[in-house]
Structures are given as structure tokens and as C-alpha cells.
Amino acid sequence: MALLQVERVTKAFGGLVAVNDLSFEVHEGEIVGLIGPNGAGKTTVFNLITGFETPTSGTIRWQGRDLKGLPPYQRCRLGLGRTFQITKPFARLTVLESVMVGALHHAHSQARAREVAMEVLEQMGLAPLAHALAQDLNIVQLKRLEVARALATRPKLLLLDEVVAGLTPAEVPVVVDMIRSVYRRGVTILMIEHVLPAVMTLAQRVVVIDHGVKIAEGTPREVTTNPAVIEAYLGEAGAVALG
């Protein structure tokens, strides 16, 4: 059974249809990329899956169960972890405390959450910064912290919203390695990415959306040679030039 099923989901904000009749699945043990040009509706899809937005129509299933009506925090407790495109640090908490927050729902006490958080920080290479304030971190460290906090919630599926975007070329491989190491620990990953090379090296399967509509799905190689995808990214002229 699929871990996550998005079935014919539509989300309209007034007259603007951000996501249109979208369906796709994520299976356990996969890295799936969700790509598309700016404004394609990728983050809206994440917000629908994690419960920050309610679909206008359609169903989202988690391990076969309809998630309708479940608030975000309960979806998190079911195993849906997420990061935010614009990092949302707990500015005046330390790195350790920030990660403890993610562990509280299963650790129940601050003491136990601290142990879990320390393990996660070790894994993520953030242990030396455990007692630094989140507001003092740089962008790479913030992105690591964002992933660490999500990992502390013990997700089965981790939704990464543009963790590579905004990094310098030198920083990209560092974060790509980080995602790979998270995956190797048995976490299924659904990632939104604007930086295509990062998705192409990581994802086994890619879903491409444009204007909220799925225009292609397949292996990275399949979608990059798909004329519809090239057109969405480069415009019609690009498609003709490459075709």
C-alpha cells in the first residue's frame, strides 16, 4: 500500500486554482521529487498534505486512512514531518531546545526529549552548535536545523520544501549528502525543489506540476526529455529549440 496517496485534489483560492485535480502516490522507501516552475503550486500541495490548507475537493490518504479534518500537529504525530521553504526557526531557543520541541510528542518529558534531540544533532552534524541560539545561525545551519527538528518528530515521510534553494553552489552537495543520509536511515522523502540538478541526483521518481496540473511523472531522465516539461520550464521557444 502506498504511504501517501493524493487523489484528485483541487485547491482554489477564490478564483485562482492553485492545485487542479492532482493525483500521485508516494511509496515507502522512495525519494520522490515534486518539481515545477515558480508558482506551480508546489508549496500549496505540501500545505494540503500537512493540513495547513484544506482541499477544495479530493482526498489525501495516509497509509490508506483519509486525513480529512486532522490538524497539522496530529498529522505530524502520524509520521508526516515537514520543513518550510522559508525557514521558521525558534529564534530565541537554542538549537538543542528547537530540536527537543520536535521530540516532545513522543518523548513526553523534556529530559527524554533532550536525549532524542542530542542523537539527532549528532546525526546531522549540529552537535557542536547545540547550545547556540537559533537566531545566530547562518542559512546552511538553519536548513540543517529545520531538517533536524522535523527528524526529531520521528517521521515516516519527510516533506522537504526547497532545502537546496538559496544555497551557494558550494553548499549544495553538503545538503544533498545530508538528505541522502536521512534517506539511508529509512525515512521516505518527498521533496520540492527548484534546483533541478539536486532533485535529479536524489529522486527515483519525479512528479512535475505546472499551474497546479500534473504534466508529467516518471524517472528523472524521462521527465527531463518530456516536451511538456521543457515547455513549462523554458517556454514554447525552448521546446522548439530543444525538440
Q: How many beta carbons lie within 10 A of that of residue 150, not counting itself?
A: 24
Q: In what order do the strands lie in the sheet with 188-192?
A: 80-82, 157-161, 188-192, 31-35, 205-210, 213-218
Q: In what order do the strands lie in the sheet with 16-26?
A: 16-26, 4-13, 57-62, 65-66
- Angle, alpha carbons 91-97-193 (nearest 5°): 65
Is there binding between residue 76 and other proteins (CB under 8 A)? yes
When the beta carbons of 102 and 220 are compared against other proteins, the nearer one is 102
Is there binding between residue 88 and other proteins (CB under 8 A)? yes
Integer Rg of the chain from CA: 18
Is there binding between residue 136 and other proteins (CB under 8 A)? yes
Is there binding between residue 41 and other proteins (CB under 8 A)? no
When the beta carbons of 95 and 223 are compared against other proteins, the nearer one is 95
Is there binding between residue 132 and other proteins (CB under 8 A)? yes
Count residues binding other proteins (CB under 8 A).
48
When binding is defined by CB under 8 A, the residue of 59, 61, 72, 239 that contacts other proteins is: 72
When binding is defined by CB under 8 A, the residue of 8, 29, 68, 139 that contacts other proteins is: 139
For residues 45 and 85, the answer to whether their CB atoms sit within 8 Å is no
Give the x-and-dash track for 141-160 against other proteins (CB under 8 A). Answer: x-------xx-xx-------
What cell numbers appear for 79 in the block? 509520521
Q: In this chain, which stretch among 18-26, 75-83, 205-213, 224-232 interacts with other proteins, using CB under 8 A?
A: 75-83
When binding is defined by CB under 8 A, the residue of 14, 138, 184, 185 that contacts other proteins is: 138
3-state secondary structure of 20: strand
- Residue 131's region, left for phi above 0, alpha for psi from -120 to 50, else beta, is alpha
Residue 114 CB, nearest distance to other proteins (Å)? 10
Is there binding between residue 105 and other proteins (CB under 8 A)? yes
Is there binding between residue 77 and other proteins (CB under 8 A)? yes
Task: Give the Cα separation of 134 and 116 in Å (integer).
Answer: 18
3-class SS string, 202-221: HCCEEEEEECCEEEEEECHH
Task: Give the Cα separation of 161 and 108 in Å (integer).
Answer: 28
Residue 67 CB, nearest distance to other proteins (Å)? 14
When binding is defined by CB under 8 A, the residue of 54, 110, 201, 225 that contacts other proteins is: 110
User: Interface with other proteins by CB under 8 A: which residues?
Assistant: 50, 52, 71-73, 76-77, 81-82, 84, 88-95, 97-98, 100-102, 104-106, 108-110, 113, 125, 127-134, 136-139, 141, 149-150, 152-153
